[in-house]
Chains A and B, each alone.
Chain A
Amino acid sequence: EDQVTQSPEALRLQEGESSSLNCSYTVSGLRGLFWYRQDPGKGPEFLFTLYSAGEEKEKERLKATLTKKESFLHITAPKPEDSATYLCAGIRGGGSEKLVFGKGTKLTVNP
């Protein structure tokens, strides 16, 4: 069965303290790995799509990378407004279009 596991479940950082979130996956024939940000009571907001091992994408203070077994979301010099839950999801090969999500990492950035 396809599975996506995110760690840590929760992370507290001081403003400016860089760190990484991990997403390990066992998704058959992975066709895409997606990162979303979710604020409380809202729908997930798209951040990045990665399609192949070695691929990297950046947006402001965030950088996503992908290997054959896991993905990392690096946060450089975070600000309090980066506080949110970050969700990782994979889409398998074989024609299925469903995203398989992890439980997310809740990030809190203190000023």
Chain B
Amino acid sequence: DTGVSQNPRHKITKRGQNVTFRCDPISEHNRLYWYRQTLGQGPEFLTYFQNEAQLEKSRLLSDRFSAERPKGSFSTLEIQRTEQGDSAMYLCASSRGQSETQYFGPGTRLLVL
């Protein structure tokens, strides 16, 4: 069990650029989640996948955000035309099944200049 991994760990970009983050869940976990956390706040849910199907999306996930999990293994989160308000820690988590513990990765810290 190697844990959830995320890449890159840090990303600095200029406003208007596109960025993509990757998440590799714990093997055998079929559920994968994306959250966003800003300073002094708890994580906020963005979206979740069961295998390759995206089953739930938050209203926070504007049309500039897209997430995929094409083969039911790793996932990518893309932000198009980044804005300064997108600066945050993007967290990925995975779980074995419904209502089971979600294990988080180390996060990707995004700074939009």
Contact = CB atoms under 8 A, between A and B. Distances in A.
Interface string A87-105: 1010100001111111110
Given A96-B56, A103-B42, A44 B101 contact: no
A98 B4 CA distance: 18
A99 B45 contact: yes
Given A43-B91, A98-B45, A91 B99 contact: yes
A100 B44 CA distance: 7
Contacts of A4: 42
A42 B106 CA distance: 5
Given A44-B91, A87-B42, A98 B104 contact: no
Contacts, number: 58
A77 to B, nearest CB: 26
B41 A97 contact: no
Contact of B56 (A32, A46, A97): A97
Interface residues of A, number: 24
A54 interface: no
A111 interface: no
A71 interface: no
A36 B55 contact: no
Contacts of A43: 4, 91, 104-107
A96 to B, nearest CB: 6
A35 B11 CA distance: 28
B85 interface: no
A99 B91 contact: no
17 contacts: A32-B99, A34-B101, A34-B102, A41-B107, A49-B101, A89-B43, A91-B99, A97-B33, A97-B98, A98-B48, A98-B56, A99-B43, A101-B42, A101-B43, A103-B40, A103-B42, A104-B42
Given A42-B107, A43-B107, A99-B102, 5 more contacts: A45-B104, A49-B101, A97-B55, A97-B56, A98-B48
